[in-house]
Structure 1
Amino acid sequence: MDNSDENSVQFHGDEEIIEVIDLNETEQNPDDLADEFEDVDVGETEDGDDKQEDWDTDDEMEQEKEQDDSELTFSKHTGSVFCVSLDPATNSLAVTGGEDDKAYVWRVSDGEVLFECTGHKDSVTSVLFSHDSSLVATGDMSGLIKVWKVETKQEVWSFEVGDLEWMEWHPCAPVLLAGMADGNVWMWKIPGGDCKTLQGPGCQSTSGKVLPDGKRAVVGYEDGNVRLWDLKQGNATHVIKGHDGHQGALTCLACNKDGSLVLTGSVDGRAKLINTATGKVGSGHYCMMENT
């Protein structure tokens, strides 16, 4: 084959040319690529400022993803909100407490503040309307509890205890219960202030609830025990402990409609169903549910 055929392409059978690659073309180095990008229009304006409209930052993209579907936002608090409760009579009022040492009673339809619960010394961590929504109780981390009459927007009672763990209104009377870090449960008649104390076992009372009959209360403790109290007599009718009790502090409890059963939860990762008449932990598949 002579030199004239050096650049010619030879066909073999049914082959066809897909692409011809010029091997004489040198590979581009980084400097060459940089020169090419100098010619790319990145949206520079006439006065030399870069256009940023089409360049979204991560923060801007995240903001675009956020969507507020709420009907109303209440923004009076200047710190974290720690507790909230709706009035049980009409569900038209709310009370909130927060890190700013304040509690507000406000209308849920438009967010209008009816009154501010003033005078707290520390973060308000517990708020609750009474059964008929006529009273509202607010408690802070210092142990100061205040009760307000919703109609007059006035404070009608206050009391200072130790470290407050929880509060609970009686389901059919103006009686307020509160659990303390020393394990005691205080019970007051509002606004008179008549008081009764349910003596604890010497460890923190972590949760409590008055049963629907209004005669008994169930209280959970840091040691994993659960006590069923007769409120009139002031004594514990049943103590659930040991194998039947929890192996860690109680974190929550709830009862069914007639108060015959109480479900308890604990830091041990288990839930137990207790018969309030007998104090026995239910048998069968529902008695103990372990978090796996």
Structure 2
Amino acid sequence: MASKRVEDEHFEEGADDEDFIDPNDVLVEFGDGGEGGDFPMDDDEEGGPGGEEYMDESIVYEDNSTQHFPSHKGSVFAVSAHPTAPVAASGGEDDLGYLWDITTGDELVKLTGHTDSVTSTAFNADGELVATGGMDGKVRIWRRVGKENWRTWEFLTELTGPDEVMWLRWHPKGNVLLAGSNDTTVWLWQLPSGNTMQVFAGHKGPVTCGSFTPDGKRIVTADAEGTLIYWDPRSPSPVFKLTPTDARFALDGITSIAVNPASTLAVVGGASGGVRVISLSKGDVVGALAGHQDGESVEAVEFVELATPGPLSGSAAASGGVVVTGATDGKACIWDLSTMRLRATLEHEDAVTSLHHLPAPKAHLIVSASVDKVLRTWDARTGTLVREHKGHHGPILDATLGLGGSVVVSAGDDGVCLVFQTE
């Protein structure tokens, strides 16, 4: 690879985030990343389209969804929504991704080219590009054709490098894509050129989760061995690293992470049920949240901004210091980070798989998805249930908000994606 480095000023305070990396800048690949464990998906594809594996004719199923997309032939592992248009991208066990209309359920584009399960999908900030990532190690990019036409897309490029793609995240403003791999490496690409900008090597296990900070200036990644690394995108060397050798950070592997809107705190969920609060300015553990059962993996973390009065508002709400964690114990716990106290517990009948908060002015509403086949909308100010969303015949593996938060789109182990009104 070429060795030209990104200009430092692109990440300085006040820099224009959209131009923070020159499209021609490509960085050296550092380290071979070592070898990570392999976690293959279940090869059983008996479910087929429409959740036939889960159908029981003796049961009367409730379905309050407004639309469904049944084209996948097997489990649907990932779904994401376009930032403005009525389009969702889903990826599944059938080695395919799809773009489809969430208002009609119509298939728009079949996203082909993968040779193994598609486990990640993601739209960039302006919705002009969509990425799919798979267990085959490929990241494939499509772009929208025409500024006014959201129904037509064309293949742009394929990015290679990772052994198996664990997750994808776009920069909050720029056309830069971040991916975590099963082989311990983290990749950074510039689009539309497809140039590799950086390969971060520092983890010792599969990189299970990660993200840009909301201000776009830093990257946080974490692995299955329990290590968290805070990166400056300009450098292959960590800003700081936390490992299980510090007893305060022993989580038996890290399974989820989120960064607060101010980009000052990260909340990390562990495979053992532990939750830790990390100061990104100090590079240290500043809190431990104990609310989930021991040994129950924390699968989702979501910050919530509470702008209106309620039992959970006050100093924590004013600072954005409310976070929700969801785990395999079926609980979603609401925490006040100003006091490090548990304020409410939301109950599912099985594992919580994802959490999402609506945008302002309804940012106090959160949607949880679960293996119990149900999504639920909650009021985080009071911990009360607002609405249940039913229609899946199997576990819900992923979910996303669309159309400005007015709908939630879910991906099921039953091979179907469903659309629900959030309220």
> TM (normalized to structure 1)?
0.74
The equivalent position to 2:103 in structure 1, one of 99, 109, 119, is 109
Q: For 1:170 and 1:143, locate their aligned partners in 2 and report how far apart those are by CA, in whole Å.
A: 20
C-alpha spacing 1:239/1:135, structure 2 compared with 1 (3 Å): same
What amino acid is aligned across from residue 166 of structure 2 in structure 1?
Answer: E
- Contact 1:223-1:249 at 8 Å conserved across structures: yes
Partner of 1:190: 191
The equivalent position to 1:271 in structure 2, one of 275, 282, 294, is 275
Partner of 1:209: 211
3-state SS of paired residue (1:244): helix
Q: For 1:280 and 1:200, locate their aligned partners in 2 and report how far apart those are by CA, in whole Å.
A: 18
The equivalent position to 1:254 in structure 2, one of 258, 263, 270, is 258
Are 1:154 and 2:154 an aligned pair?
yes
Partner of 2:290: 289
Percent identity between the two aligned chains? 35
- Contact 2:251-2:273 at 8 Å conserved across structures: no
Are 1:99 and 2:93 an aligned pair?
yes
Shift of 1:160: 2.5
Partner of 1:143: 137
Aligned-pair RMSD on alpha carbons? 1.6
Partner of 1:84: 79
What amino acid is aligned across from residue 176 of structure 1 in structure 2?
Answer: L
- Contact 2:144-2:153 at 8 Å conserved across structures: yes
Partner of 1:235: 237
Aligned residues: 228
- Contact 1:227-1:239 at 8 Å conserved across structures: yes
- Report the structure, 1 or 2, having the larger strand content: 2
Shift of 1:246: 3.0
Partner of 1:173: 174
Q: Which has the higher contact order (CA 8 A, sep 6+)?
A: 2
- Contact 1:251-1:267 at 8 Å conserved across structures: yes
Q: For 2:291 and 2:202, locate their aligned partners in 1 and report how far apart those are by CA, in whole Å.
A: 27
3-state SS of paired residue (2:247): coil
Query: 1:8-54: CA deviations, max 9, x gaps?
Result: xxxxxxxxxxxxxxxxxxxxxxxxxxxxxxxxxxxxxxxxxxxxxxx
Shift of 1:200: 2.1
> TM (normalized to structure 2)?
0.52
- Contact 2:222-2:254 at 8 Å conserved across structures: yes
- Contact 2:232-2:239 at 8 Å conserved across structures: yes
What amino acid is aligned across from residue 246 of structure 1 in structure 2?
Answer: A
What amino acid is aligned across from residue 86 of structure 1 in structure 2?
Answer: A
Partner of 1:56: none
Partner of 1:49: none
Q: For 2:274 and 2:70, locate their aligned partners in 1 and report how far apart those are by CA, in whole Å.
A: 37
- Contact 1:182-1:200 at 8 Å conserved across structures: no
Max Rg structure:
1
Q: For 2:216 and 2:180, locate their aligned partners in 1 and report how far apart those are by CA, in whole Å.
A: 17
In the TM superposition, structure 1's runs of 4+ consecutive aligned residues that sit over 4 Å from their partners are: none
Shift of 1:290: 5.0
3-state SS of paired residue (1:66): coil
What amino acid is aligned across from residue 95 of structure 1 in structure 2?
Answer: A
Shift of 1:147: 0.5
Q: For 2:267 and 2:93, locate their aligned partners in 1 and report how far apart those are by CA, in whole Å.
A: 31
- Contact 1:272-1:289 at 8 Å conserved across structures: no
Point out where structure 2 has 5 or more consecutive residues left out of the alignment: 1-55, 146-151, 294-423
3-state SS of paired residue (2:67): coil
Partner of 2:121: 127
Shift of 1:129: 0.6
